[in-house]
């Protein structure tokens, strides 16, 4: 391997290690929720900056640079979502169609990935901590990881997860015995809509 090729392999790994060390140092110095929120905001802005810079080129006036920037954004997958959602101005029709398609397809891929993660937890019967809001309510039944996964699975597929009907349905699920909850989880897991989402 040439020196140039070796450096091309080593430098990204070194940069990643440096970033991890820097994040670890910064996290170790946090002393309050306010500092945690400030660091999160800074890191979020830094993580979005490269895609935002590419999106500015894509929205520019140089046709060759715009085409290359669009190809780069296309390969950035979910990292490109924020600038694509925020893009404004008079984009040509082909860019508008590409942007809409890119956003919807990327969100679809993220939904599939989220469903696969939840599906793996639907058999995890370990105890789960009660959410802070639930801990204040009387007679809140103990929850398992699979119960939380089921409720999130239901939220992912619900037409309106904020509706009173959905909230009531989740409360009723938690009031079931563990055996009945297991039956409900397996029924939902076998549904055609869930199988389609986890394929």
Residues 74 and 72: their CA atoms lie apart, in Å, by 5
Q: What is the pLDDT of residue 70?
A: 96
- Looking up tokens 């398609």, which residue turns up? 101
The tokens describing 153, both together, are 């699975």
Number of structural domains in the chain:
2
> 3-state DSSP call for residue 128?
strand
pLDDT at 136 over 90: no
Report the chain's mean pLDDT, rounded to a whole number: 88
Considering the domain architecture, whether residues 107 and 184 belong to the same structural domain is answered as: no
pLDDT at 103 over 80: yes
pLDDT at 3 over 80: no
User: What ranges in the chain are assigned the alpha helix state H?
Assistant: 3-28, 33-58, 63-75, 81-86, 93-121, 132-135, 145-157, 164-175, 178-190, 192-198
pTM: 0.79
Domain closes at, from 116, 139, 168 = 116
Residues 197 and 122: their CA atoms lie apart, in Å, by 15
Residue 156: give the domain boundaries.
Answer: 122-198
Q: CB of 181 within 8 A of CB of 173?
A: yes
Q: What is the pLDDT of residue 190?
A: 96
Residue 190 lies in a domain: yes
Residue 11 lies in a domain: no
Considering the domain architecture, whether residues 134 and 184 belong to the same structural domain is answered as: yes
Confidence class for position 141, pLDDT limits 50, 70, 90: confident
Residues 66 and 176: their CA atoms lie apart, in Å, by 56
């Amino acid at each position: 391997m040439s020196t140039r090729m070796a450096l091309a392999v080593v430098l990204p790994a070194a940069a990643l290690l440096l970033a991890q060390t820097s994040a670890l140092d910064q996290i170790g110095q946090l002393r309050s929720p306010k500092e945690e929120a400030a660091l999160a905001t800074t890191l979020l802005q830094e993580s979005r900056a490269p895609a935002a810079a590419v999106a500015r080129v894509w929205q520019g006036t140089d046709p060759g640079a715009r085409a290359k920037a669009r190809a780069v954004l296309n390969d950035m997958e979910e990292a490109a979502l924020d600038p694509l959602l925020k893009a404004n101005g008079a984009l040509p029709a082909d860019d508008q169609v590409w942007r809409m398609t890119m956003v919807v397809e990327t969100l679809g891929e993220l939904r599939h990935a989220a469903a696969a993660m939840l599906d793996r937890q639907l058999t995890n019967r370990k105890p789960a901590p009660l959410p802070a809001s639930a801990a204040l309510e009387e007679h809140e039944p103990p929850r398992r990881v699979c119960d939380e996964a089921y409720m999130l699975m239901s939220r992912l597929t619900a037409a309106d997860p904020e509706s009173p009907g959905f909230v009531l349905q989740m409360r009723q699920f938690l009031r079931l015995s563990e055996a009945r909850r297991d039956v409900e989880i397996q029924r939902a897991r076998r549904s055609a809509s869930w199988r389609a989402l986890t394929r």
